């Protein structure tokens, strides 16, 4: 973990809100806090080597793998979003998306696929997909690439800022790769969700799946929709399902037409806390 990443994740919001004396104090202690946390940062794991040692993982379902690799997509996990030195070993309830993923993925888990996850963080979900999709190549994108724990010949970790159209264009759209599955699990803000889906839907292969996690965040969390903008992606998808017209300043007429002409189905499910949308392409 780089110092810059540590600061942005755990102290930037505190420094921004702090008054003068507290701000000076936080800036002074920050290097010491960083050095103290370094020994607690999770170690790197080579999945190719792990596959040889733990070949039984290749036969496990997604819920088992999510729990094994501590992904919050599963049923229970250890909080991975706290400072490394403050993490507790106790398991807390996770999103519970595994059953939805399993129902869509089980029929083509043995195929050779290109799978993109945006918002990979430590890569725990990517590691789970590595063992579930044993013949596939995984692309894991995040703004903090130094956090990513895993490496493999079947995996690539790279930078993308899903809040910026330019970053999506340069780092994903311009690549000569089409994806069978795209999972959007990054910022969850109103703009991020909308531009990720409508910009990247054209990168999805025919019959492919586009998945948006925490779909309801811009409707239920103020910090994910600071100006209370409408429509949210959740509203847009429901309007499309009900054949109601919609407009958004974040969607170009071309991208809107492409999506409407090429989507096959839209399903929205409720996990343990939040919603997940699974969109299939014709």
Per-residue three-class SS string for the chain: CCHHHHHHHHCHHHHHHCCHHHHHHHHHHHHHHHHHHHHHCCCCEEHHHHHHHCHHHHHCCHHHHHHHCCCCCCCEECCCCCCHHHCCCCCEECCCCHHHHHHHHHHHCCCCCEEEEECCCCCHHHHHHHHHCCCCEEEEEECCHHHCCEECCCEEEEECCCCCHHHHHHHHHCCCCCEEEEEECCCCCHHHHHHHHHHHHHHEEEEEEEEEECCCHHHHCHHHCCCCCCCCHHHHHHHHHCCCCCCCCCCCHHHHHHHHHHEEEEEEEECCCCEEEEEEEC
Query: Given the structure tokens 């919050």, which residue do they identify?
Result: 72
142 bridge partner residues:
159
Say which CATH number the domain at 269 has: 3.40.50.150
Task: Quote the pLDDT of residue 81.
Answer: 86
Asked if residue 186 and residue 65 are part of one domain, the reply reads: yes
Domain that holds residue 13: 3-39
Q: What is the pLDDT of residue 277?
A: 98
* Contact call for residues 212 and 277 (beta carbons, < 8 A): yes
- For residues 169 and 47, what is the distance between their CA atoms, to the nearest angstrom? 29
Residues 239 and 192 in one domain: yes
The predicted pLDDT at position 107 comes to 87
Identify whether residues 23 and 58 lie together within a single domain: no
pLDDT along the chain (282 residues), means of 10: 94 90 92 95 94 94 95 91 88 94 93 97 96 97 95 96 94 94 94 96 97 96 92 96 94 96 97 96 97
pLDDT at residue number 89:
83
If asked whether residues 147 and 201 sit together in one domain, one would say yes
- Stated length of the chain: 282
156 and 139 co-located in one domain: yes
Match 């429509």 to its residue by tokens: 231
Number of domains in the chain: 2
Residues 21 and 105 grouped into a single domain = no
Is there a single domain that holds both residue 145 and residue 220? yes
Instruction: Quote the pLDDT of residue 80.
Output: 84
* Same structural domain, 33 and 151: no
How many CA atoms lie less than 13 Å away from 83 in the CB half-sphere? 16
Q: What is the pLDDT of residue 187?
A: 84
| 75 in the same domain as 34 | no
Indicate if 187 and 111 belong to the same structural domain.
yes
Please give the structure tokens belonging to residue 196.
Answer: 């990720």
What was the pLDDT predicted at 88? Answer: 85
Kindly state whether residues 17 and 58 are assigned to the same domain. no
Residues 124 and 14 in one domain: no
């Amino acid at each position: 973990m780089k110092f810059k990443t540590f600061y942005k994740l755990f102290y930037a919001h505190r420094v921004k809100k702090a008054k003068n004396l507290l701000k000076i104090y936080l800036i002074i202690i920050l290097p010491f806090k960083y050095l103290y946390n370094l020994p607690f940062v999770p170690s790197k794991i080579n999945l190719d080597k792990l596959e040889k040692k733990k070949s039984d993982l290749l036969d496990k379902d997604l819920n088992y793998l999510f729990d094994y690799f501590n992904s919050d997509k599963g049923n229970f996990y250890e909080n991975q979003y706290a400072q490394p030195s403050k993490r507790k070993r106790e398991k807390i309830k996770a999103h519970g998306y595994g059953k939805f993923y399993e129902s869509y993925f089980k029929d083509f888990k043995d195929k050779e696929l290109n799978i993109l996850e945006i918002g990979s963080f430590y890569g725990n979900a990517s590691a789970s997909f590595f063992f579930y999709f044993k013949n596939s190549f995984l692309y894991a994108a995040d703004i903090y690439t130094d956090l990513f724990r895993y490496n493999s010949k079947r995996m690539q970790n790279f930078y993308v800022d899903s809040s910026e159209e330019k970053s999506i264009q340069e780092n994903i759209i311009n690549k000569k790769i089409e994806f069978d599955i795209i999972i959007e699990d990054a910022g969850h803000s109103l703009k991020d969700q909308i531009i990720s889906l409508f910009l990247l839907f054209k990168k999805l292969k025919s019959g492919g799946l586009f998945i948006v996690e925490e779909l309801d965040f811009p409707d239920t969390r103020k910090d994910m929709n600071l100006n209370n903008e409408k429509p949210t992606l959740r509203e847009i998808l429901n309007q499309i399902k009900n054949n109601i017209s919609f407009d958004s300043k974040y969607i170009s007429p071309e991208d809107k037409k492409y999506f409407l002409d090429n989507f096959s189905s839209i399903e929205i499910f409720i996990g343990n806390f939040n919603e997940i949308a699974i969109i299939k392409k014709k």
